[in-house]
């Protein structure tokens, strides 16, 4: 399926931290806004998707049943095929794979994929972060909340503690990722936090849940994103800058070792990335940038390892030895990542690496443009299983040529 | 009681009741697969190793080893009742019967918690119906 589909347009709305006085948009409004931006970039209209495909990512904010069909109703689109993203931060990537398969099989020619959330509008008993009703029901919650698990930061902190026990990794190495993300955010007008900080600032930021500190943690925002994928043939009639999906790999509910007592320091990217690269026909040296699912620096570091850019356990050293800036030898999270850009809900931050990969390969990344970008990788990473790091790991390889 | 009320309580179902009731009675029980003998945790609809639905709540050894830990210094994505317990020493415990569990370690200073530390279960009541296992250094 290499190069059979291409992305022809993307949209990313401005984000909001829902400060007093800011307009409060709902999830439908953000979806429409993001879709409008993607349609404008592609030179298409909503009517082009009647009889075609619509993909809708999960939203944590209250929404009705039959969410993807309800979204079609709100947008006034009558699609033949609905795709519902239900893989958290891997949803944007998984819907691209589903859409590609639909296009490959000839069922549809094009799919509009949207995702938005307004987590800051969710009433919550929890201090600081929204705790939506859907997070506090079911066996998964009943065996964590009452036990004192404090959300993703505490869950990921356990993975990081274990990693640091097994491998060499310094806070300075993780800090370099955070500092570089913020530097990239300073070059991205849409990022929510744009003032650069230093390694010293990072190291002196307060610990929230050892060994994770404040500047390791993703800020939550309201916002929406969208993209349009078509057959390669249609893409070439729409744009002179189609961004081809060259390869994909997906791994769900990966266990490294036994299911009862797995090693939690290796993610499903160890399966997904080799598949994506084999399909794309590329090796590590061909990949000119990596857009990981960058909500915590150590997740980016583990992704680098599990993609095979270095040996397991050498991720910290790799980060130290490479220039992660857009003009360096290993450009990473060139949009500033979710870490400085903001995460529009647990399910929709996953659009950001994909949208940035496309933006880079269209040559439209402005002050943060990777020079002569032709091949790049992005990631989806969704959900936190009990006691482990990531439920869904998806690797995507994009290129300017099929 | 107000502090307890400000911490989340589980919704007890027929699937999970034996766990909460046992903890109330100061016992640790886990689902044991009658086919492959693997202990499953948290409660599952069938054995995640072999797929057998014959899971039987079984007394588990009260001991384990710290696989990983974090020291939560703020309350996040949980109820404000935890505030008075900060810092919360939250661990992944590898139970001697071969299942892994999130649990608080108590009676241990944050400076002393270590991966590999041997721990023993104790219990705390969280409602009239349920207790919860916690651990302390052996």
- List of residues 6+ apart from B65 with CB closer than 8 A: B93, B94, B96, B116, B117, B118, B119
Both A162 and A192 in one domain: the answer is yes
Q: Residue A327 and residue B94: Cα distance in Å, rounded?
A: 45
> Looking at residue B125, what is its pLDDT?
97
- Check if the beta carbon of residue B36 is closer than 8 Å to that of residue B47: yes
Q: What is the pLDDT of residues A71-80, one digit of tens each?
A: 999 999 999 9
Does the CB of A205 have a partner CB in chain B at under 8 Å? no
Instruction: Identify the helix (H) or strand (E) that includes residue A241.
Output: none
Residue in B closest to A164 by C-alpha: B68
Looking at the domain assignment, is residue A137 inside a domain?
A: no
> Looking at residue B5, what is its pLDDT?
59
Q: Residue A57 and residue A63: Cα distance in Å, rounded?
A: 12
Percent of chain A whose pLDDT exceeds 90: 95
Nearest to A230 by CA among A358, A49, A382: A49
Both A259 and A381 in one domain: the answer is yes
Q: Residue A145: list chain B partners with CB under 8 A.
A: 8, 10, 78-79
If 0-12 CB within 10 Å is exposed, 13-18 middle and 19+ buried, where does residue A76 land?
A: exposed
Q: If you average pLDDT over every residue of chain B, what do you get?
A: 95
Predicted ipTM of the assembly: 0.97
Note down the domain range covering A311: 150-207+244-399
Both A10 and A74 in one domain: the answer is yes
Q: What is the pLDDT of residues A287-324, one digit of tens each?
A: 999 999 999 999 999 999 999 999 999 999 999 999 99
How large is the average pLDDT for residues A281-285? 98
* Closest-CA distance of chain B to residue A38, Å: 33
Both A58 and A185 in one domain: the answer is no
CATH value at residue A50: 3.40.47.10
Enumerate the domain spans of chain B: 2-137
A137 vs B11: CB contact, 8 Å cut-off?
Answer: yes
Both A260 and A381 in one domain: the answer is yes
Both A282 and A304 in one domain: the answer is yes
* Closest-CA distance of chain B to residue A24, Å: 23
Q: Give the CATH number of domain B2-137.
A: 2.40.50.840
Tell me how many domains chain A contains: 2
**Coil, strand or helix at B16:** coil
Which tokens belong to A247? 């390869």
Q: Residue A92 and residue A99: Cα distance in Å, rounded?
A: 11
Both A234 and A248 in one domain: the answer is no
Q: Residue A141: list chain B partners with CB under 8 A.
A: 8
Q: If you average pLDDT over every residue of chain A, what do you get?
A: 97
Backbone angles phi, psi at A295, to 5 degrees: -85, -20
- Check if the beta carbon of residue A46 is closer than 8 Å to that of residue A35: yes
Q: What is the pLDDT of residues A334-348, one digit of tens each?
A: 999 999 999 999 899
Residue A111, pLDDT > 80, answer yes
Both A349 and A201 in one domain: the answer is yes
Residue A201, pLDDT > 60, answer yes
Both A59 and A187 in one domain: the answer is no
> Looking at residue A131, what is its pLDDT?
87
Cβ-count burial A373-391 (b if 16+ within 10 Å, e if not): bebbbbbbbbbbbbbbbbb
Q: What is the CA radius of gyration of chain B?
A: 15
> Looking at residue A80, what is its pLDDT?
98
Residue B2, pLDDT > 50, answer no
- Check if the beta carbon of residue A384 is closer than 8 Å to that of residue A235: no
> Looking at residue B4, what is its pLDDT?
52
- A135, A148, A165: residue with CB nearest B90: A148
How large is the average pLDDT for residues A61-87? 96
B73 vs A165: CB contact, 8 Å cut-off?
Answer: no
Supply the DSSP string of A30-99, one letter for each residue. Answer: HHHHHHHHHHHHHT--GGGGTTSEEEEE--SS---SSHHHHHHHHHT---SEEEEE-SGGGHHHHHHHHH
> Looking at residue B1, what is its pLDDT?
40
> Looking at residue A63, what is its pLDDT?
87
B102 vs A144: CB contact, 8 Å cut-off?
Answer: yes
Cβ-count burial A90-129 (b if 16+ within 10 Å, e if not): bbbbbbbbbbbebbeeeebbbbbbbbbbbbbbbebebeeb
**Coil, strand or helix at A110:** strand
Both A294 and A349 in one domain: the answer is yes
Q: Residue B115: list chain A partners with CB under 8 A.
A: 161-162, 165
Q: What pairing do the DSSP bridges indicate for beta strands B100-104 and B29-33?
A: unpaired
Residue A134, pLDDT > 90, answer no
Both A200 and A64 in one domain: the answer is no
How large is the average pLDDT for residues A243-248? 98
Both A266 and A345 in one domain: the answer is yes
Q: Which of residues 129-148 of A touch B (CB under 8 A)?
A: 129, 131, 135-137, 139-148
């Amino acid at each position: 399926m290499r190069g059979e589909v291409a992305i022809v347009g993307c949209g990313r709305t401005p984000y909001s931290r829902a400060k007093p006085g800011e307009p409060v948009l709902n999830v439908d409004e953000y979806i429409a806004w993001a879709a409008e931006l993607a349609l404008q970039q592609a030179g298409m209209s909503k009517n082009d998707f009647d009889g075609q495909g619509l993909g809708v990512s999960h939203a944590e904010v209250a929404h009705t049943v039959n969410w993807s069909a309800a979204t079609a109703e709100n947008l006034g689109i009558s699609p033949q095929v609905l795709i519902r993203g239900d893989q958290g931060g891997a949803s944007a990537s998984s819907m691209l794979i589903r859409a590609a398969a639909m296009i490959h099989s000839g069922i549809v020619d094009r799919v509009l994929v949207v995702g938005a959330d307004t987590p800051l509008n969710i009433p919550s008993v929890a201090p600081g972060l929204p705790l939506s009703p859907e997070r506090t029901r079911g066996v998964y919650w009943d065996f964590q909340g009452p036990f004192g698990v404090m959300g993703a930061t505490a869950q990921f902190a356990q993975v990081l503690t274990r990693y640091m026990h097994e491998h060499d990794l310094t806070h300075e190495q993780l800090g370099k990722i955070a500092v570089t993300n913020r530097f990239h955010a300073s070059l991205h007008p849409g990022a929510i936090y744009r003032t650069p900080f230093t390694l010293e600032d990072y190291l002196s930021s307060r610990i929230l849940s050892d060994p994770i500190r404040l500047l390791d943690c993703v800020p939550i925002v309201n916002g929406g994103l969208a993209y349009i994928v078509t057959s390669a043939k249609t893409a070439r009639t729409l744009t002179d800058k189609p961004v081809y999906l060259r390869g994909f790999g997906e791994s769900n509910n990966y266990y490294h070792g036994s299911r009862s007592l797995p090693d939690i320091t290796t993610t499903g990217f160890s399966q997904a990335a080799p598949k994506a690269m084999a399909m794309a026909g590329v090796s590590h040296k061909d990949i000119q940038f990596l857009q990981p699912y960058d909500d915590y620096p150590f997740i980016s570091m583990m992704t680098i390892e599990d993609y095979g850019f270095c040996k397991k356990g050498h991720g910290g050293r790799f980060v130290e030895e490479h220039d992660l800036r857009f003009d360096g030898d290993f450009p990473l999270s060139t949009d500033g990542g979710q870490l400085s850009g903001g995460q529009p809900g647990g399910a929709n931050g996953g659009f950001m690496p994909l949208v940035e990969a496309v933006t880079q390969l269209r040559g439209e990344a402005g002050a943060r443009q990777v020079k002569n970008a032709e091949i790049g990788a992005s990631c989806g990473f969704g959900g936190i299983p009990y006691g482990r790091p990531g439920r869904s790991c998806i690797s995507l390889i994009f290129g300017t040529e099929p | 009681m107000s502090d307890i009320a400000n911490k989340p309580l589980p919704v007890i179902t027929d699937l999970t009741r034996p766990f909460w009731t046992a903890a109330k009675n100061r016992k640790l029980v886990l689902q044991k697969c009658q086919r492959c003998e693997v202990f499953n945790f948290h409660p599952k609809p069938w054995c995640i190793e072999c797929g057998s639905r014959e899971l039987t709540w079984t007394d588990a050894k009260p001991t384990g080893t710290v696989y990983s830990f974090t020291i939560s210094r703020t309350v996040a994505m949980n109820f404000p009742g935890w505030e008075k317990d900060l810092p919360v020493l939250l661990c992944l415990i590898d139970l001697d019967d071969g299942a892994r569990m999130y649990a608080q370690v108590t009676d241990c200073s944050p400076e002393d918690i270590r991966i590999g530390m041997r721990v023993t279960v104790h219990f705390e009541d969280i409602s009239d119906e349920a207790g919860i296992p916690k651990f302390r250094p052996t």
